[in-house]
């Protein structure tokens, strides 16, 4: 009887080759999936921080920042040295530093209230210059955010509108208390809108220092604007001739940084402010507040100068790889 034939086992070399082909096929498929995923993320996902930096500051040797020049404690220019100091100046250095600019690469230019939305400041020769950022006690409002060329990042400070009078003036608890009196404020500020709504007749100036000078000269009976601005003048006066009044407004004045038409810059500045607010080791904001605003509170006992913590801000949509996430 003949035994049935039995197939010979495959050669070891052929088995090895088959497994190798299968492994290579799986690797090719996996690489293809990863490549497609990366392409999709890059094409439809948000830009990375590196991409935003290339768009916003790539090639810039200096950063031009429009700031006020007449507000003690917030942003004041020394006429003898040309040096700027104040809370806004420290915030501007914070942002500029995180954008990659050294202090000697930051150029401050004086900007007036009505020019903040246009990003137009004045250079040393008096000519108008388009700046990269505006850090100038610029309150964020819906109306301003809808203006062409305005992109707010922030907020970076929360304060309130208040009133300053000479010390002999009767107590002021609302803007309505100033009806029939001569009131001064900035012509295109949110304070002028509130004064108008309260039926108060006011004079508008381009610089708040002109209002305070007029008050001291008895040209005006009162000055109204943000408490963080007025507190600097009261502290400089040491409460001798100026009195600071809380007028009980509920809405906060939230100061933002205008980035103009630059969406990449807006996202970067928001990211910098977000990190500043959420990093307990970063004390630059707190140090600026203590140095300039907290120190003024003693001269304005009836009105809070500003909220003593950095305002909350949502994390901007910036692409991060898994290994960059904490």
Quick: pLDDT tens for 272-308. 999 999 999 999 999 999 999 999 999 999 999 999 9
* Secondary structure (3-state) at 126: coil
What's the confidence (pLDDT) of residue 257?
Answer: 98
Over the stretch 309-326, which tens digit does the pLDDT of each residue have?
999 999 999 987 665 555
Query: Quick check: 40 pLDDT over 70?
Result: no
Higher pLDDT, 259 or 4: 259
Rounded to whole angstroms, the Cα distance separating 163 from 175 reads 8
What's the confidence (pLDDT) of residue 264?
Answer: 97
Rounded to whole angstroms, the Cα distance separating 298 from 305 reads 10
Measured CA distances, 234 to 70, 105, 178, 267 (Å): 14, 33, 19, 36
Looking at the DSSP bridge assignments, the partners of residue 301 are none
Rounded to whole angstroms, the Cα distance separating 99 from 118 reads 22
Question: How does residue 187 score in pLDDT terms, banded at 50, 70 and 90?
Answer: confident
Residues 202/184, Cβ–Cβ less than 8 Å: yes
Query: Quick check: 112 pLDDT over 80?
Result: yes
Residues 6+ apart with CB under 8 A from 197: none
Q: Which percentage of the chain shows pLDDT scores above 70?
A: 81
What's the confidence (pLDDT) of residue 125?
Answer: 86
Over the stretch 134-167, which tens digit does the pLDDT of each residue have?
999 999 999 999 998 899 999 999 999 999 999 9
Nearest alpha carbon to residue 138 among 222, 67, 234, 231? 67
Nearest alpha carbon to residue 235 among 315, 168, 282, 297? 297
What's the confidence (pLDDT) of residue 172?
Answer: 96
C-beta atoms surrounding 61 within 10 Å: 7
Question: How does residue 35 score in pLDDT terms, banded at 50, 70 and 90?
Answer: very low
Rounded to whole angstroms, the Cα distance separating 111 from 70 reads 10
> Stretch 103-107: mean pLDDT, rounded?
97
Over the stretch 201-256, which tens digit does the pLDDT of each residue have?
778 888 999 999 999 999 999 999 999 999 999 999 998 999 999 998 888 999 99
As a whole number, the mean pLDDT across the chain is: 88
Over the stretch 115-139, which tens digit does the pLDDT of each residue have?
999 999 998 888 999 999 999 999 9
Residues 160/219, Cβ–Cβ less than 8 Å: no
Question: How does residue 39 score in pLDDT terms, banded at 50, 70 and 90?
Answer: very low
Question: What would the two tokens of residue 224 be?
Answer: 């109204």
Phi, psi for residue 122 in degrees, rounded to 5: -105, 130
Taking the alpha carbons of 26, 28, 34, 36 in that order, is the dihedral positive or negative? negative
> pTM for this one?
0.83
What's the confidence (pLDDT) of residue 42?
Answer: 46
């Amino acid at each position: 009887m003949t035994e049935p034939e039995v197939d010979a086992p495959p050669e070891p070399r052929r088995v090895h080759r088959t497994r190798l082909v299968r492994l290579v096929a799986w690797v090719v498929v996996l690489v293809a999936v990863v490549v497609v995923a990366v392409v999709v993320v890059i094409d439809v996902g948000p830009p990375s921080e590196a991409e935003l930096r290339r768009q916003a500051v790539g090639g810039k040797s200096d950063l031009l920042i429009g700031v006020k020049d007449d507000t003690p404690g917030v942003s004041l220019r020394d006429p003898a040295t040309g040096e700027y100091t104040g809370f806004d100046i420290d915030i501007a250095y914070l942002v500029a530093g995180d954008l990659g600019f050294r202090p000697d690469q930051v150029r401050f230019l004086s900007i007036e209230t009505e020019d903040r939305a246009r990003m137009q400041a004045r250079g040393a020769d008096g000519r108008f210059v388009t700046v990269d950022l505006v850090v100038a006690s610029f309150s964020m409002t819906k109306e301003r955010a809808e203006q062409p060329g305005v992109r707010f990042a922030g907020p970076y400070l929360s304060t309130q509108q208040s009133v300053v009078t000479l010390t002999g003036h009767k107590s002021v608890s609302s803007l309505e208390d100033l009806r029939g009196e001569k009131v001064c404020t900035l012509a295109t500020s949110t304070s002028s809108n509130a004064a108008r709504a309260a039926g108060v007749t006011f004079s508008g100036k381009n610089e708040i220092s002109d209002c305070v000078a007029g008050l001291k000269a008895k040209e005006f009976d009162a000055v109204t604007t943000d408490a963080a601005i007025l507190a600097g003048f009261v502290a400089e006066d040491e409460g001798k001739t100026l009195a600071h009044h809380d007028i009980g407004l509920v809405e906060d004045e939230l100061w933002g940084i205008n980035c103009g038409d630059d969406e990449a810059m807006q996202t970067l500045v928001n990211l910098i402010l977000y990190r500043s607010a959420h990093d307990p080791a970063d004390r630059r904001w707190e140090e600026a507040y203590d140095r300039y605003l907290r120190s003024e509170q003693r001269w304005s006992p009836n009105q809070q100068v500003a909220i003593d913590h950095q305002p909350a801000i949502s994390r901007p949509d910036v692409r991060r790889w898994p290994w960059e996430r904490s």
